[in-house]
Amino acid sequence: MLVNLLPEYEKNLSSAFNEKDFEALGEQAHKLKGATLYCATPRLTEAAKALENVVRNNEQSLDLLYHHLIKEIVAVKEEFNLLNSINENQI
């Protein structure tokens, strides 16, 4: 399940970003984009796609898009946790 992989993606993206390893950053964004395509997470998909494209094209907005992608990862994790807790309370 995608939500179980998000902490690993977040860690790998953060590590690549902090180490300024832009090749690894682009690869992680590409992998995350692929993982999200069929998971009804369009904002996360678009954020991963945007970061992948910026890394590939050496554009200046890398910092902004990296932080946007991390924000979307956190949002998906929080939404999943909320829905999970609602389902548990209904049982």
Report pLDDT for 91.
Answer: 65
Contacts of 37 (CB under 8 A, 6+ apart): 45
Look at residue 32 in the predicted model and tell me its pLDDT: 97
pLDDT under 70: residue ranges of the chain: 91
> Model pTM?
0.80
Tokens representing residue 35 in the block = 């993982």
Q: Element (H or E) spanning 41, and its range?
A: none
Helix (H, G, I), strand (E, B) or coil at 1: coil
